[in-house]
Structure 1
Amino acid sequence: MKSLLALALACLSACIASAQAASIGVVGLFPGKAVLVIDDRSPKTYSVGSQLAEGVKLVAADNNTATIDTNGKRQVLTMGQYVHHAAASGGSSSVTLQADIQGHFVAKGQINGGGVSMLVDTGASLIALPASEAARLGIDYKKGQMGRASTANGVINVYKVTLDTVKIGDVELHQIDAMVQESGLPIILLGMSFLNRMDMQRNGQQMVLTKRF
């Protein structure tokens, strides 16, 4: 009886989480399967035919695209794209930033649970961290994918990593791509790997970031 009750509760929890799914993102593609992120949860591999949420199903997948059926409407997604599920409940999280005297927006927040200051930079494709900050936050960045980048100070080593969590105010995202730079970067840059999941509204000296997915 206890095992049946536990199973029922687990199924109920799964159904509730599924019914409240706000977004489904594609992070991996294979013939007949797709690796998806649902509502900022950990990536999971789904086979074609899988029910992703109430009224949402993965109906096709190959090396290039995944097709999601949402209440009869099909959307073809490529790597990194998201679909938003209309059945989501609750309001969106948002945070308001105030410009400094130079007109820059600096956000106080957390990366992997550690306190940080981040300069909003829409010109940066990824969150960028100085190596010293990465080390302080316990990020073993040298295990990341190494590359080379040209800067004003010459060509330097950079490392692509994945951050477990990035939080500003009530807005928290998971599994965010970032780059660690070994020199020439004085502050963390809050780049588009975070910002492209926000609605950004500028009103004078204030900027409101509202989580989209």
Structure 2
Amino acid sequence: MRTKDENMRVLVAEDEEVLAELVATGLRRAGFAVDTVYSGDAALAYLGLHDYDVVVLDRDLPRVHGDEVARRLVADASRTRILMLTASASMEDRVQGLDLGADDYLGKPFEFPELVSRVRALRRRSARPVPPVLERHGLRLDTVRRTAHRDGQELDLSPKEFAVLQILLEADGATVSAEELLERAWDANADPFTGAVRVAMSKLRGKLGEPALIRTVQGVGYAL
């Protein structure tokens, strides 16, 4: 279970597989860790296994209806926020979806920038707000504009590197384990034995330059 604010993890539950993958790809490009499922029972299984900030939930899911997924999240007092998608944009449908416990509602077809903006807004409501700018040791991360600087020089970071650095900054000097980084910045397909965190950390250290800012705490994790 995550205890600090962090880079966002999103579940996309949409039975139109092409649309689900398009949404997931766009959200990953925006810097989020994203998993996709195509049925309501799979959505419930993933929601039971992982700690998501937001679920993008299609109402008309097979096997277990999206409405039932929303009901169970509400019944479990889950902190996961629900952005409900529907092919119907009628007022009655919107009201019904919100009454079921959805935090926001978006009709299809939708403009992708609006989806990203709504997901970000829901994430801010899911936990303690993250300061829009994080600063420490000459590092400056703008979490809204997704820009990073060290001593005034812009850093060319990948979305994954940005996520890792944001998590370390939010830890405020505390040590973050590799397992925690993997849980918070990677999706469920990440193999914990591939050394993905170690590789990303090596690239991030190279881009941050000297003097070194990230230290390895042997057997524990990483800290600024």
The structure with the greater share of residues assigned to strand is 1
Q: Same fold (TM over 0.5)?
A: no
Please say which structure displays the higher CA radius of gyration.
1
TM-score (norm 2): 0.25
TM-score (norm 1): 0.26
